[in-house]
Amino acid sequence: MGTALVYHEDMTATRLLWDDPECEIECPERLTAALDGLRQRGLEERCLCLSACEASEEELGLVHSPEYIALVQKTQTLDKEELHALSKQYDAVYFHPDTFHCARLAAGAALQLVDAVLTGAVHNGLALVRPPGHHSQRAAANGFCVFNNVAIAAKHAKQKYGLQRILIVDWDVHHGQGIQYIFNDDPSVLYFSWHRYEHGSFWPFLPESDADAVGQGRGQGFTVNLPWNQVGMGNADYLAAFLHVLLPLAFEFDPELVLVSAGFDSAIGDPEGQMQATPECFAHLTQLLQVLAGGRICAVLEGGYHLESLAQSVCMMVQTLLGDPTPPLLGLMVPCQSALESIQSVQTAQAPHWTSLQQNVAPVLSSNTHSPEERSLPLLGESPTGTVAEDSLSPLLDRLCLHPAPPICTAVASTVPGAALCLPPGVLHQEGSVLREETEAWARLHKSRFQDEDLATLGKILCLLDGIMDGQIRNGIATTTALATAATLDVLIQRCLARRAQRVLCVALGQLDRPLDLADDGRILWLNIQGKEAAIRSMFHFSTPLPQTSGGFLSLILGLVLPLAYGFQPDMVLMALGPAHGLQNAQAALLAAMLRSPVGGRILAVVEEESILLLARSLAQALHGETPPSLGPFSKASPEEIQALMFLKARLEARWKLLQVAAPPP
């Protein structure tokens, strides 16, 4: 269905008319820089471009008082001195004769985007707007914000479409207190915000920005504040927050729509945030959200004041919404001590309200956990004031090239006819094969496991693997006989290493043991999901039982598989479903969908033939970028499932730092 881009050039009309160092950063060039970036990279032309229309006064009234709307309307006729005097009545706000028109366009753009997504005209999209909105309150402008664009969009989605569960993800570096106030007692809106807080010493200096502000009345637990108490938070810190706080709550909440208050002042180089997250991090955050709400994501621009960083971050988000592979994340995946403390404080505050946090494992903040000052990788070009030097930012952003999508997204190598597999449109049935002699040479070590028909299939699978590693195919699915599954997986591992893959992640489900002759040298990370007990054979070889509850399965993915995958940073993922793998359709699809992010989509799923007719379509859809089906009602992990996860985390976290973050016990 595609991706919408909602914009109107009139939103560049407002600008500061007097000298005010605090407000001068909110300038028209923010929009033009972002739009120019999208155009230069060919992303705008791939979107459905919609020209924003003004929100009506009735629509503004979903959130704002009639008196406040009338006051903003009056600014159209005020002179410069009157505008300046009115602006000084609010905190960090400036008015302009075009403010009312621009602010109505900004709110209207958010409404148009919600309409386009919820009517099925598009799958997702971005409203490129100014002024921003998340600080604005019912009767007050605040922090550059006039009308609360995202809050109005949420109210509109509830009123017009009858939605009962809306998730708002606010990754702007400032707390969106306006959204929090509007939905403080509303259990139909789950509001998550991370923000620079520094124990209350950073704007907007509010105690209700801290982790213990969880909502009021029926809305308790539906406000989730994650305060960053130091600057310098980076990719690992943001990922840890998603994996150990936001996503567990979001899966339990099961939203029908995701709204993103997309502020990019939380990216590297921004003078407001002074954070270290690189633009490609926002591609990963976006893709992690795409497994929710049927992929219905509406992002609305908030802050972002370093023009180059803003433009790059917007491009990263849009290319992910369009379905392009995520680029690799830079740097070590080691959350800092301050981030772990903040995340744990959120988990402590929220655990009484969420089963998904009650079942997780308390983090161990080990002595070798880094603080921002002690990271193995220094903050890039940091000046004594904590800002990032211009001469260090540009070379970094230059490396963040937007990789072209492979010509083929997903391919299937199978002896089962494509029609029988009911593959979704756009998935190719692989016909090519490597030479018979080459196939026989690779199969020689496992000759007893391969019959003639198995060798023919292996040739197709090797050809498919080569296509993925050459960048011609993004990912694929292959079928084998039950007898040949383990041998096929071993051959694929050796082929990856021979083709100079530095790191290969193998997620093996069912009766598939790690090959005995495989060197334990850190190039292969082997996770076997089978049996009844968790076991660790090395820091790169371990196993865990397959959870039977939805809560246990989600904890396995979010609390173990993804932290390991992001920490390992593989070049290739092999996901093997062997005999007695036990995965249901929705579980297999979710696992495949979530594994796409850490590896840029380069996954080869190997499935034994008895399961392929059941799993082929959902696996292909997930690898192709479609949202996986729901796991069903959330059920709490069993004590045995929690114990297995605790056992692994306690022993692996010294090597795999993203495992250190989890919720306290109930």
For the chain, give the longest Cα–Cα distance: 88
Alpha-carbon gap, residue 263 to 284, rounded angstroms:
15
Q: Three-class SS of residue 210?
A: coil
Residue 47 contacts residue 318 (beta carbons within 8 Å): yes
Q: Three-class SS of residue 470?
A: coil
Q: Which residues of 641-663 are buried (b: 16+ CB within 10 A; e: fewer)?
A: bbebbbbbbeebbeebbbbbbbb
Dihedral, CA of residue 83, residue 88, residue 89 and residue 92, to nearest 10: 110
Alpha-carbon gap, residue 621 to 618, rounded angstroms:
5
Alpha-carbon gap, residue 169 to 161, rounded angstroms:
20
Q: CB under 8 Å to 291, separation ≥6 — which residues?
A: 590, 593, 594, 627, 628
Alpha-carbon gap, residue 68 to 619, rounded angstroms:
51
Helix (H) or strand (E) holding 480: strand 473-480
Dihedral, CA of residue 439, residue 441, residue 442 and residue 444, to nearest 10: 120
Q: Which residues of 462-471 are buried (b: 16+ CB within 10 A; e: fewer)?
A: bbbbebbbee
Catalytic status, residue 64:
no
Handedness of CA 163, 353, 181, 113 (dihedral sign): negative
% helix, strand, coil for the chain, step of 5: 45, 15, 40
Residue with tokens 């909440």: 253
- Residue 65: closest CA among 144, 141, 177, 176: 141
- Residue 122: closest CA among 322, 416, 346: 322
Give the orientation angle of helix 436-443 with respect to helix 485-498, to 10 degrees.
110
Q: Three-class SS of residue 516?
A: coil
Q: Three-class SS of residue 406?
A: coil
Residue with tokens 């009602």: 633
Residue 113 contacts residue 6 (beta carbons within 8 Å): yes
Q: Quote the DSSP letter at residue 638.
A: P
Q: Which residues of 505-539 are buried (b: 16+ CB within 10 A; e: fewer)?
A: bbbbbbbbebbeebeeeebbbbbbbbeeebeeeee
Cβ atoms within 10 Å, residue 578: 23
Report which residue type is found at 251.
F
Report which residue type is found at 173.
V
Alpha-carbon gap, residue 546 to 639, rounded angstroms:
13
Alpha carbon 116 to chain centroid, angstroms:
22
- Residue 2: closest CA among 121, 100, 105: 121
Among candidate residues 135, 175, 195, 624, the one labeled active-site is: 135
Residue 567 contacts residue 600 (beta carbons within 8 Å): no
Please give the positions annotated as active site: 135
